[in-house]
Amino acid sequence: MNRKVMTGELERLAGQPFPLPEELQAGFMSTAMQKPDRPVKLACRQYWKLYGAAAQRKFRDAGELRELVDSGRAVGALQDVDLEIGEGEIFVVMGLSGSGKSTLLRCLARLIEPSFGEVLLDGRPLIGLPAAELMKVRRHEIGMVFQNFALLPHLSVVDNIALPLRIRHDDPASIRENVAEVIQLVGLSGMEARLPAQLSGGQQQRVGLARALAVKPGLLFLDEPFSALDPLIRRELQDELVRLQARLKKTMVFVTHDFSEAVRLGDRIAIMKDGRVRQIGAPEEIVTAPADDYVRNFAAGIDLTRVVSCARIATQPTRSEYAVKVPADRRIAEAAEEVARAGGPVGLVDSQGRLVGELDAAAILRLVSGGLYGGGEGAGR
């Protein structure tokens, strides 16, 4: 069904909003989404990073740092950040320039020292870890992907990918096996002997991703890895990352300033401003229940149908049987055509096939026209 016909059907069936079914309310994300729904891989507590002459010392408690920031004697690049990132989760950190997102990633990766607080990897404190042990963690448990690719220009694709394995003195046979595996994994077969200058930007970033994956880390840090690429290549690599994650189930901390990228990739998103986390939640929660105007402005203009689930705008079932049924957790964009073709409400079912609600074209129309979750005056407040 084309867009014009589907829109006509939506308009014809438009009606009034209904309350959310109780059966569906319990499954929605709330402030509890600040906690992962899986074992914690990486956590930080009372994390601070200050800059300025007065900040170059040890602190006994967070109150001392707060006093320095409030008095203007230090700049708070990170201020009292608490995070828990789950095993196998893509956790996106986003904000405007100067919000502290890249500083947070570098402090979590221990590339720079925080001023105060603790960070734990698999429950093990990393602050105060002896240099040799910290180096071992970086070489075996953590991978990094950078915005500027960070490839050595005189090394081939194979040698760039193999570099961290050689630095940690892996067995040559193991290096060849690992490098061959990740080259195929990221789609670089046939390019093994090329130098970085002979690759496109997207191909160079694939090398960077392959290099990070070659060490078989449990945790990946990605600092705006696709922001320097053209939109088409950026989307292609986003798709690639989603595909890889479905297979590898890595824990990823992904920094971006692009909200569309954040909602497309992230299991959860942390939005930062002035060194503080303003909200943590699943993409659907961020766009439908923004914590404040700052968060709401990030969500402005996003295609809600690709973020919001059918369950979120559902109503109570009005019958026991429906000719058309769709999963309640399906995104609106994926179900809209079925709803328009049905000529009436469709049933929503949970993972067990139980009827939990209904969805009609009127609810979709209110969503896309701004009557729900932003767009209309006072929407989402």
**pLDDT one-digit tens code per residue, 226-281:** 988 899 999 999 999 999 999 999 999 999 999 999 999 999 999 999 999 999 99
Indicate the number of domains in the chain: 2
Q: Do 362 and 332 share a domain, yes or no? A: yes
Contacts of 114 (CB under 8 A, 6+ apart): 47, 48, 49, 78, 107, 127
Q: Do 295 and 307 share a domain, yes or no? A: no
Structural domain includes residue 313: yes
Q: Is the pLDDT of residue 13 over 70?
A: no
Exposed, middle or buried by CB within 10 Å (0-12, 13-18, 19+), for 210? buried
76 versus 301: the higher-pLDDT residue is 76
Asked if residues 93 and 255 have their Cβ atoms less than 8 Å apart, the reply is yes
Q: Do 150 and 289 share a domain, yes or no? A: yes
Beta strands 40-51 and 75-86 are antiparallel
Q: Is the pLDDT of residue 374 over 60?
A: no
Q: Do 193 and 330 share a domain, yes or no? A: no
Asked if residues 371 and 379 have their Cβ atoms less than 8 Å apart, the reply is yes
Domain boundary among 268, 299, 330: 299
301 phi, psi to nearest 5 deg: 85, -5
Structural domain includes residue 58: no
Place 154 in a pLDDT band, splitting at 50, 70 and 90.
Answer: very high
Place 372 in a pLDDT band, splitting at 50, 70 and 90.
Answer: low
The reported pLDDT for the residue numbered 298 is 85
Asked if residues 86 and 68 have their Cβ atoms less than 8 Å apart, the reply is no
Q: Is the pLDDT of residue 375 over 50?
A: no
Place 366 in a pLDDT band, splitting at 50, 70 and 90.
Answer: confident
The reported pLDDT for the residue numbered 214 is 95
Residue with tokens 């990094």: 144
Structural domain includes residue 281: yes
Q: Do 154 and 223 share a domain, yes or no? A: yes
- Expressed as residue numbers, the domain containing 357 is 3-29+303-368
Structural domain includes residue 119: no
Place 371 in a pLDDT band, splitting at 50, 70 and 90.
Answer: low
Q: Is the pLDDT of residue 9 over 60?
A: no
Structural domain includes residue 229: yes
Q: Is the pLDDT of residue 31 over 50?
A: no
Residue type, 343: G
Domain boundary among 273, 299, 325: 299
- pLDDT, average across residues 160-186: 95
Beta strands 219-223 and 75-86 are unpaired
Identify the CATH number of the domain in which residue 294 sits. 3.40.50.300
The reported pLDDT for the residue numbered 148 is 85
- In three-state secondary structure terms, 98 is coil
Structural domain includes residue 77: no
- At 340, list the tokens: 């328009």
Q: Do 180 and 103 share a domain, yes or no? A: yes
Structural domain includes residue 152: yes
Q: Do 135 and 271 share a domain, yes or no? A: yes
Q: Is the pLDDT of residue 8 over 80?
A: no
Identify the CATH number of the domain in which residue 326 sits. 3.90.1280.20
The mean pLDDT value of the chain amounts to: 87
Q: Do 332 and 295 share a domain, yes or no? A: no
Structural domain includes residue 224: yes
The reported pLDDT for the residue numbered 290 is 92
Q: Do 101 and 186 share a domain, yes or no? A: yes
The residues that bridge with 142 in the sheet, in sequence order, are: 219
Residue with tokens 């919001």: 308
Q: Is the pLDDT of residue 144 over 70?
A: yes
Q: Is the pLDDT of residue 159 over 90?
A: yes
Domain boundary among 299, 327, 347: 299
Task: Calculate what percentage of the chain has a pLDDT beyond 70.
Answer: 88
- What is the spatial distance between Cα 187 and Cα 213, in angstroms, rounded to a whole number? 13
Q: Do 284 and 339 share a domain, yes or no? A: no
Q: Model confidence over 53-111: pLDDT tens digits?
A: 988 889 999 999 999 999 999 999 999 999 999 999 999 999 999 999 999 999 999 99
Q: Is the pLDDT of residue 36 over 90?
A: no
Q: Do 262 and 337 share a domain, yes or no? A: no
Q: Do 230 and 274 share a domain, yes or no? A: yes
- What is the spatial distance between Cα 353 and Cα 374, in angstroms, rounded to a whole number? 32
- What is the spatial distance between Cα 101 and Cα 90, in angstroms, rounded to a whole number? 15
